[in-house]
Structure 1
């Protein structure tokens, strides 16, 4: 290949027709538009959909990704646009890599984010390797995030649409993976643009609603899933205040999350109380005033660092962090303890921070994402 071959729209020095792209297709409008757009441009598109759990049961669940209906929709889009489509059975691997950890984390009193683990361990690791085995030059997804080229290679950036930005769920994407991945929707300003593209291609999923729930959690009922996976997990116990005084009983620690106020069943008190800590070993839910929820220092580990300089090259980093997907980034000081552990000091304390959630790093003056880590209980 001559060195002066111009880059195509995916940033590769190959003619479009000779560039193979594996598109991860969930059956939703976003990934369908990605596949349709690339096929229309003339790329050698191969659609791949993952069967992540028993889609006989999934057929009864509306609003979930990767269910039987979604596999059908992905296949139909491939037929409409004229490119091959494959369904890969990842059910066993998905359970081992994502669902089991989700259940165990809840039992340990944490608040896990399984969508991040799915991206990290299934889609951007195993499926990415499958794409390479298929001879693909890159893999494209329908995620709302941007990949930009910097002086040292591919960088991760927030989506142009802050409402659709999915950087919180993709912080663990590695540099090596970024070199291979493409996110064609990240520059779009609104979801309406995506649906307009779907309509332009005549896709059958153009008006399909977005999925809202975690794919294997029907109607957001986490406790029901945990009870099914781990029988006996919902054993009752005591609700106590910060001094250990028993205020009532609960129906299982898995039914409660840090920061919860409603549904505690301990009415009649002068001031409202919130769940401030969970002790699954003692089967206790600890409650206290709202002020007890405020956290300033957060320990994190399993850090994926995407900065240009090594993470430990300086004693602290002045960045912004997001501790929940629904909250905006806030100023913080990040102090490395090792290449994979750090202490995060929030300039303004936040409430409801729980082990098991992600802490994602952002540049304070640009759209760049610097990676992140997982919140834990500390030593």
Structure 2
């Protein structure tokens, strides 16, 4: 490993407006910026061309790494396996610590750069000699939820140039003012390796050997009320696309892979005060245990990316589980999604991520 220089930064460069503008900001602050494109599918897609064009326009060095093998083994295999057992995974949560940021750090070490950066909307703060991801100034664009599994070795070296931007328009306007070609480029799709749409998801997963079969729809009273198309087509909280005419609204409340059944119920059945998580990760010491420094009086959590923060308390369960008890019952805590825990030191300050875990089916 080369000696690391504090004025040198490796930035994850996709060619989109966020990462391109982040590179521009770093360069304007005097950093020696190196653009790094991560090829997750190994197909030499047009995204590489866009990233290379962005680097050329910014006049920064450009490198790329084919990470398709580890992405397939770690991210895609987990995504397919989770869906096949009725869970709804978030691949970004798996990719960020195991592929994206790990590779950026490795390349930074290789090239002698101390800092790394991305175009995420988030901020870094230091509390009690530990680094944490803090919510972005724009809560609508905030991506801190996706970053809860990053450890101190990564957090201590990250710069998020867009963290204080108020909205996406501010990013686009800055890009336009510098005539960056990415200024009007559309935002990336929800899952970077699959086209949007449920059928595309199912085809992608089945192409990798995970097949689904029809099974029973069961109502909350135990009665069988119809046949479902296969577990891959459904998620907890879903109402549309059930293919049933019950004369009333019905929602997916439970998916049972062992019995290949899907339970339906009312909207009221979706609300729970307790949410249990496994595979937990706490940022302060990179362990699954709740740190002794956690103060239940200032804790908040969210059970999906688009949700708001809600007050809760945490206690340890068995086998590394964590039980979050919310002041207000949460709707559709979905197995496979992440519950992310935040602390907030005062009303004036934004909350910061202290950890999180994967939501369990039942407990």
TM-score by length of 2: 0.90
Asked whether 1:372 is paired with 2:351, we answer no
Indicate conservation of the 8 Å contact 1:213/1:220, yes or no: no
What 5-or-longer segments of structure 2 have no aligned partner? none
Counterpart pick for 1:347 among 327, 330, 355 = 327
SS at match of 1:19: strand
Aligned counterpart, 1:110: 87
What 5-or-longer segments of structure 1 have no aligned partner? 1-12, 57-67
Q: 1:313 to 1:38 in 2, by over 3 A?
A: closer
TM-score by length of 1: 0.86
Indicate conservation of the 8 Å contact 1:320/1:361, yes or no: yes
Counterpart pick for 1:198 among 168, 172, 175 = 175
Q: How does 1:92-111 map onto structure 2 within 5 Å?
A: 92-111=69-88
Indicate conservation of the 8 Å contact 2:152/2:284, yes or no: no
Aligned counterpart, 2:147: 170
Once the two structures are overlaid, the 10-residue window that deviates more, 25-34 or 316-325, is 316-325
Asked whether 1:211 is paired with 2:188, we answer yes
Aligned counterpart, 1:253: 231
- How far does residue 369 in structure 1 lie from its aligned partner after superposition? 2.1
Aligned counterpart, 1:266: 244
Quick one: distance in 2 between partners of 1:160 and 1:339?
37
- How far does residue 314 in structure 1 lie from its aligned partner after superposition? 6.7
| Runs of 4+ residues deviating >6 angstroms | none
- How far does residue 339 in structure 1 lie from its aligned partner after superposition? 10
Quick one: distance in 1 between partners of 2:332 and 2:126?
36
Quick one: distance in 1 between partners of 2:187 and 2:294?
43
Q: 1:125 to 1:338 in 2, by over 3 A?
A: farther
Aligned counterpart, 2:304: 324
RMSD of aligned Cα (Å):
2.2
- How far does residue 216 in structure 1 lie from its aligned partner after superposition? 1.1
Quick one: distance in 2 between partners of 1:140 and 1:194?
16
- How far does residue 85 in structure 1 lie from its aligned partner after superposition? 0.6
Q: How does 1:9-24 map onto structure 2 within 5 Å?
A: 19-24=7-12
Quick one: distance in 2 between partners of 1:164 and 1:94?
25
Counterpart pick for 2:202 among 210, 223, 227 = 223
Q: 1:151 to 1:278 in 2, by over 3 A?
A: closer
Alignment: residue pair count = 350
Quick one: distance in 2 between partners of 1:338 and 1:183?
36
